[in-house]
């Protein structure tokens, strides 16, 4: 294959350039079968599309005018033999491989699901081959279709990899009937393979008038829901149109049979496909009239008028007006049957105007809970999709309730006393003068098996709770599904929190399609701007937008509506003013759902004064909070300390505060960023923002000072690193605020203590930036605080290889501490200056500095300091090739740190000890020390420490002749160092390079590079598992 550039091959195979389809190398479709070379095992035009790709009904099969013998399950079939047609259900049972493309893609090997990799192009590629199963496709066209921005060689390599992965996922196929037919230039899904495909069955049945109902029953959703590749859209629309045609035929057939109710159900399904199709409204009016439902006639005519005015700004056609008048006249002439209080229709569910995206698992869970509980409340923040999920669950449950499913929208009901009347009116029950309407409603429902859906209950919680309790007590076969921002709090209630849509994981911008939030945004953006596509150029911006909007469906839909005027990048730029941006919702929706701010105004307006005050104040915790931290910062009237737990509980119940149990020992709370943004605006409006922010900053400063030396020494280092990691976003915010208001001292008190966290967690560059802003103002600081900042800055400069700057900062720090006559601080500064000297390979100076530090630590009885000095002197002995002396120092250091339970000190000493024994020719012993240190580094989340140990174990692998393992470990360590911005220190580079050269010599250059690249692709967790030997997939 020639190595054409990406630009040239994109020009050749860009589908928008018609000339490329007509070039001699790319014949038009009618000529392709004639001009292409035959595929191995392939017969041109061998089968019609049938329910089974293998063809349960054969057409006349010919190749060069000769009959072809086809064998199925041991029976010879010839072109003239046409077996009787079998039902699609039987066909699905008889074959081993079943694929469902209508709706989300699913596949089964017998009854076992085939797990398709998420966020991969593999499902789309397989779907393409199945949809285009009737003809071969050139490989270069497939490569261009799925990787248009890659050079041709890379794109074709990607294609080969994905095809190989597909073959691995599929069950074994008989040699004579492989799944794929391939040659060097083209490939095709084998028409003779043992496959059942829902698309094939649907297409066949949809063209057979006697089987139209079976066809629409097979249509489980749009083609490959959740996939947005360009090739999908025309096929999706083609199949939707075919289903619409089939539904039209079914409505006519069922209406002709006299089953008007069933015809109405099919017509309503047509309306979901195309809510602007007047013909469907006319059919529904006619059907309701013939079933004696005058209200249904009026309801659908009004719906038609509303939808056409809103979406197209037009009135219904004269034909629709005539159909309405005729339906009313027909209904008026029919015999009138007085409605009985207990005569219930099947359902009154509203027809959604948009597709249901990304809630497959949630819908399954809600249906499961609804089957086992009589009162189920869906809670969640406004706009999270409670109503839409409840409607989907209700639609799916219609056949489960003998007496129907009833939808009661309470959004416009203000007076709680009218609740029972609203429910009764919706169900067609009349008020009786001699008894309360609630009692009559309960009595009417007593013998019924029905589902009541109460939507938007949060402003009527008490009334809804009372009515639900009454109905459930009197009517044993009635179930109630409700939506509310807070639960009812009654016995027997099951509460299920509706989560935001899942977000794409960080760093996964290359494969976004699996995230439901992305799917929803793309779906709605395409509706607003039909030319919109998810492309490599906008993927990062789309992912950022969905994350910033917390995956809240309403926020995503409002943002997508702006695509008519703005690009995705422009939407992202305007997120700081998100409430002005997120406006313009559907006029058919609730007024409070037309802007995101109005949604939150509604929830905020339902809070009492203490709840509102607490919500505003909690918005300061950008990184979440605990009950203790909330009490310290927020417990100012009207929020009282003793009420805080109850107030937080109320805000959780009202879906304004979230709960996290990531730490089993301590529950944390937080807010979605959209809610926090709203609450911060309200905090500023309240006039207490500055006072509350000062309390918040004071809390963070005290926490940083408490952490202080505990991050370096002490028996609870892991706990303090965990605390700082949990609170880090809050600490960062406090530093920024203190700097912003000119309080350098408060910023320094906090920032100067964080350098061990920045070092171990790969945040050296961020720490340098913060301390770099404080250093020019150090003369304004008290001497001790100035020395703390200088020491922290010097340590981070050292890690980034800026040795001269580090030495200057640390010498100034040492001078201040000598003036303050603080021996422990002096020894600490001497130790850090010794590290600088060692990195500059000035070993005599390093020896003097570390020896002086050891002397001071011994004088003041600081055993941790002694262990630190011994570790440093052991490291120095390694540099001087005194490996035996190094081992002696380091054994003492490790023993001291273990006695003191100092995890960080012990982990560093073990690394140095591993290097010393490795240089003594004991690789197995060295590996044991490196692994022990690695486990401790994992406990501390110390990323540079992980890299050190990966490099040490790589050297061991090379020394033992395991070159490929060494390459993977070196590659993983190199990638980690690049990510955290900490290079290998100067004196370690020779040791590192010698180990690389030894391992590299063990295999061919291309093998070395491939294994290095493989290791570099590992995430940190996998690299650690591989280093510790707990990853079974690689040697």
pLDDT tens digits for range 363-407 = 889 999 998 899 999 998 888 888 889 998 998 888 888 888 888
Q: Output the pLDDT for position 510.
A: 58
Stretch 945-954: mean pLDDT, rounded? 94
User: How far from chain centre, in Å, is Cα 1006?
Assistant: 36
Q: Range with the lowest mean pLDDT among 94-98, 143-147, 667-671, 750-754? A: 94-98
Could you give the strand order of the β-sheet that contains 450-455, starting from the edge strand earlier in sequence? 405-409, 450-455, 478-483, 375-379, 493-497
Inter-helix orientation angle 689-707/627-634, to 10°: 130
Residue 6 pLDDT class (50, 70, 90 cuts)? very low
Phi, psi of 497 (to 5 degrees): -80, 120
The residue among 153 and 914 whose pLDDT is bigger is 914
User: Do residues 833 and 814 touch, judged by C-beta distance below 8 A?
Assistant: yes
pTM of the model: 0.58
Q: Give the Cα separation of 729 and 672 in Å (integer).
A: 14
Distance of CA 262 to the CA centre of its chain: 39
Q: Provide the pLDDT for residue 17.
A: 37
- pLDDT (tens digit per residue) in 818-842: 999 999 999 999 999 999 999 898 9
How do 112-113 and 97-100 pair as beta strands? unpaired
Q: What are phi and psi of 267, to 5 degrees?
A: -65, -35
Higher pLDDT, 184 or 598: 184
Confidence class of residue 873 from pLDDT cuts 50, 70 and 90? very high
Q: Which residue(s) pair with 108 in the sheet?
A: 98, 113
Q: How confident is the model at residue 625 (pLDDT cuts 50, 70, 90)?
A: very high
- The residue-averaged pLDDT of 616-633 equals 92
Phi and psi torsions of 483, nearest 5°: -125, 135
Report the pLDDT value the prediction gives residue 559, as an integer from 0 to 100. 80
Over range 732-744, report the average pLDDT: 90
pLDDT score recorded for residue 343: 37
Q: Taking 60 as the threshold, does the pLDDT of residue 44 lie above it?
A: no
Cβ atoms of residues 448 and 342 within 8 Å: yes
Mean pLDDT of 649-654: 85
List the one residue out of 51, 370, 25 whose CA is nearest residue 199.
51
pLDDT bucket at 2, cuts 50 / 70 / 90:
very low
More confident residue, 17 or 523: 523
Identify the three-state secondary structure at position 179.
coil
Report the first-to-last Cα separation within the chain, whole angstroms.
33
Block residue for tokens 């999709």:
385
Instruction: Report whether pLDDT(920) > 80.
Output: yes
User: Does residue 800 register a pLDDT over 60?
Assistant: yes
Sequence-distant (6+) residues with CB within 8 A of 187 are: 39, 129, 136, 137, 139, 142, 163, 180, 181
Question: Which residues 6+ apart lie within 8 Å of 337 measured at CB?
Answer: 292
Question: What does pLDDT average to over the chain?
Answer: 81
* 934-943 per-position pLDDT tens digit: 999 898 888 8
Instruction: Number of helices (H) and strands (E) in the chain: give both, helices first.
Output: 47, 18
Q: How confident is the model at residue 596 (pLDDT cuts 50, 70, 90)?
A: low
Confidence of residue 11 (pLDDT cuts 50, 70, 90): very low
- 179 has pLDDT over 60: yes
Residue 635: what pLDDT?
Answer: 92
Lookup: tokens for 275? 């809510």
Model pLDDT, residue 693: 93
Report the alpha-carbon distance of residue 868 to residue 856 in Å, rounded: 12
CATH of 740-929, one of 1.20.1250.20, 3.10.25.10, 1.25.40.10, 3.90.180.10: 1.25.40.10
Task: Tell me how far apart the alpha carbons of residues 59 and 48 are, in angstroms, rounded to a whole number.
Answer: 6
CA gap 381, 671 in Å, rounded: 10
Mean predicted confidence (pLDDT) in 720-731 = 90
Name the band, by pLDDT with cuts 50, 70 and 90, for residue 39.
very low
Q: How far apart are CA 515 and CA 504, in angstroms?
A: 5
The residue among 981 and 20 whose pLDDT is bigger is: 981
Cα 193 from chain centroid (whole Å): 36
Predicted confidence band of residue 538 (pLDDT cuts 50, 70, 90): confident
Q: Is domain 607-687 classified as CATH 3.40.50.720?
A: no
Is 47:200 a contact under the CB 8 Å cutoff? no
More confident: 452 or 709: 452
Each residue's pLDDT tens digit, 236-248 = 888 988 998 899 8
* Predicted local confidence at residue 434, as pLDDT: 65
> Which residues have CB under 8 Å from 218's CB, separation 6+?
88, 102, 198, 201, 202, 205
pLDDT for the residue 577:
58
Class of domain 6-218: mainly alpha
Mean pLDDT of 215-223: 86
What is the token pair recorded at 16?
A: 């928008």
Fold of 360-497: Rossmann fold (3.40.50)
Distant-in-sequence, close-in-space partners of 394: CB < 8 Å, separation ≥ 6: 347, 349, 405, 407, 451, 453, 481
pLDDT-based confidence at residue 361 (cuts at 50, 70, 90): confident
CATH entry 1.25.40 includes domain 258-333 = yes
How many Å apart are CA 224 and CA 199, to the nearest integer?
Answer: 11
- Can you give the pLDDT at residue 174? 81
Q: pLDDT band at 416, cuts 50/70/90?
A: confident
The answer to whether the beta carbons of residues 201 and 89 sit under 8 Å apart is no
* Cα atoms in the 13 Å half-sphere on the side-chain side of 74: 0
Q: Which of 230-234, 464-468, 679-683 has the lowest mean pLDDT?
A: 230-234
CA–CA distance, 208 with 188 (Å, rounded to integer):
27
Share of the chain above pLDDT 70, in %: 84
Contact 97, 193 (CB under 8 A): yes
- Nearest Cα residue to 754 out of 720, 778, 782, 805: 720
Residue with token string 């050891």: 854
* Per-residue pLDDT tens over the stretch 284-296: 999 988 888 877 7
Q: In a 3-state reduction of DSSP, which class is residue 181?
A: strand
Residue 47 has pLDDT above 50, yes or no: no
């Amino acid at each position: 294959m020639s190595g054409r550039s990406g630009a040239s091959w994109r020009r050749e195979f860009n589908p928008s350039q018609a000339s490329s389809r007509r070039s001699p190398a790319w014949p038009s479709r009618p000529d392709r079968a004639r001009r292409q070379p035959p595929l191995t095992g392939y017969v041109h035009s061998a089968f019609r599309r049938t329910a089974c790709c293998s063809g349960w009904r054969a057409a006349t099969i010919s190749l060069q005018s000769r009959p072809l013998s086809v064998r199925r399950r041991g029976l010879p079939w010839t072109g003239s033999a046409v077996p009787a047609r079998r039902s699609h259900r039987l066909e699905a049972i008889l074959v081993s491989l079943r694929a469902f493309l209508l709706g989300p893609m699913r596949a089964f090997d017998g009854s076992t699901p085939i797990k398709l990799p998420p966020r991969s192009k593999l499902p789309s590629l397989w779907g393409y081959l199945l949809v285009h199963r009737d003809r071969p496709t050139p490989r270069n066209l497939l490569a261009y279709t799925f990787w248009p921005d890659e050079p041709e060689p890379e794109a074709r390599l990607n294609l080969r990899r994905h095809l190989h992965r597909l073959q691995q996922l599929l069950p074994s196929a008989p040699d004579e009937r492989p799944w794929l037919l391939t040659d060097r230039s083209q490939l095709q899904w084998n028409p003779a393979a043992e496959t059942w495909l829902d698309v094939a069955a649907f297409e066949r049945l949809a063209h057979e008038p006697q089987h139209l109902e079976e066809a629409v029953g097979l249509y489980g959703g749009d083609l490959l829901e959740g996939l947005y590749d360009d090739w999908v859209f025309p096929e999706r629309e083609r199949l939707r149109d075919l289903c619409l045609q089939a539904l039209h035929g079914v409505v006519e057939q069922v209406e002709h049979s006299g089953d008007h109710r069933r015809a109405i159900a099919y017509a309503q399904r047509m309306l979901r496909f195309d809510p602007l199709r007047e013909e469907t409204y006319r059919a529904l009016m006619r059907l309701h009239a013939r079933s004696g439902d005058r209200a249904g006639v009026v309801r659908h005519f009004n719906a038609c008028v509303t939808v056409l005015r809103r979406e197209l700004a037009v009135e219904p056609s004269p034909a629709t007006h005539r159909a309405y008048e005729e339906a009313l006249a027909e209904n008026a002439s029919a015999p009138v049957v007085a409605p009985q209080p207990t005569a219930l229709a099947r359902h009154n569910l509203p027809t959604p105007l948009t597709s249901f995206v990304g809630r497959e698992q949630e819908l399954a869970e809600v249906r499961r809970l609804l089957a086992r509980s009589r009162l189920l409340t869906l809670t969640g923040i406004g706009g999270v999709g409670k109503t839409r999920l409840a409607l989907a669950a209700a639609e799916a449950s219609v056949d489960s309730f003998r007496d129907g499913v009833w939808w009661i929208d309470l959004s416009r009901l203000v007076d709680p006393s009218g609740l029972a009347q609203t429910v009764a009116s919706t169900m067609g029950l009349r008020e009786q003068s001699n008894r309360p309407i609630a009692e009559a409603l309960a009595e009417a429902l007593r013998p019924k098996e029905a589902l009541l859906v109460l939507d938007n209950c949060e402003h009527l919680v008490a009334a809804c709770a009372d009515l639900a309790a009454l109905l459930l007590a009197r009517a044993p076969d009635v179930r109630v599904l409700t939506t509310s921002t807070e639960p009812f709090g009654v016995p027997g209630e099951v509460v299920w929190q509706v989560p935001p849509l899942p977000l794409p994981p960080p760093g996964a911008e290359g494969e976004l399609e699996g995230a439901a939030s992305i799917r929803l945004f793309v779906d709605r953006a395409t509706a607003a701007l039909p030319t919109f596509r998810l492309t490599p150029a906008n993927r990062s911006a789309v992912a950022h937008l969905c994350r910033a909007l917390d995956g809240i469906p309403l926020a995503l839909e409002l943002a997508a509506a702006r695509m008519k005027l703005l690009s995705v990048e422009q939407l992202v730029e305007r997120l700081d003013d998100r409430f002005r941006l997120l406006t313009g919702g559907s006029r058919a929706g609730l007024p409070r759902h037309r802007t995101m701010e109005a949604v939150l105004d509604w929830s905020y307006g339902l809070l009492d004064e203490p709840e509102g005050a607490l919500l505003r104040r909690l918005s300061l915790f950008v990184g979440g909070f605990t009950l203790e931290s909330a009490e310290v910062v927020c417990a100012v009237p009207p929020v009282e300390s003793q009420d805080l737990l109850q107030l937080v509980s109320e805000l959780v119940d009202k879906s304004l505060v979230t709960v996290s149990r990531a730490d089993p020992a301590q529950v944390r709370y937080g807010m979605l960023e959209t809610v926090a943004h709203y609450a911060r605006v309200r905090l500023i409006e309240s006039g207490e923002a500055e006072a509350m922010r000062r309390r918040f900053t004071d809390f963070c400063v005290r926490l940083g000072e408490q952490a202080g030396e505990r991050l370096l020494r002490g028996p609870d280092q892991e706990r303090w690193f965990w605390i700082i990691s949990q609170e880090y976003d809050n600490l960062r915010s406090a530093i920024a605020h203190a700097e912003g208001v000119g309080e350098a001292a408060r910023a320094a008190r906090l920032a100067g203590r964080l350098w061990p966290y920045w070092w171990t967690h790969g945040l050296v560059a961020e720490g340098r930036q913060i301390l770099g802003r404080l250093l020019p103002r150090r003369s304004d600081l008290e001497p001790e605080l100035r020395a703390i900042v200088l020491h922290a800055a010097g340590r981070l400069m050292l890690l980034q290889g800026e040795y001269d700057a580090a030495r200057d900062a640390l010498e100034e720090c040492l001078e201040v501490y000598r003036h303050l006559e603080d021996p422990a601080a002096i020894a600490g500064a001497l130790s850090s200056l010794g590290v600088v000297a060692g990195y500059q390979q000035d070993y005599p100076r390093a020896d003097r500095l570390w020896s002086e530090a050891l002397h001071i630590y011994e004088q003041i009885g600081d055993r941790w300091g002694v262990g630190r000095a011994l570790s440093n002197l052991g490291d120095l002995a390694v540099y001087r090739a005194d490996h035996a002396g190094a081992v002696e120092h380091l054994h003492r250091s490790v023993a001291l740190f273990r006695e003191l339970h100092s995890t960080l000190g012990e982990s560093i000493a073990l690394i140095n000890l591993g290097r010393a024994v490795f240089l003594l020719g004991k690789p197995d012993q060295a590996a044991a020390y490196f692994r022990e240190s690695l486990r401790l580094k994992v406990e501390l989340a110390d990323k540079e420490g992980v890299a050190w140990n990966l490099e040490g174990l790589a050297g061991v692998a090379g020394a033992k002749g395991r070159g490929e393992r060494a390459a993977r470990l070196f590659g993983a360590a190199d990638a980690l160092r690049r990510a955290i911005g900490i290079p290998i220190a100067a004196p370690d580079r020779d040791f590192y390079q010698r180990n690389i050269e030894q391992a590299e010599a063990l295999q061919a250059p291309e093998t070395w590079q491939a294994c290095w690249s493989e290791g570099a692709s590992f995430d940190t967790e996998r690299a650690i598992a591989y280093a510790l030997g707990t990853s079974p997939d690689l040697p």
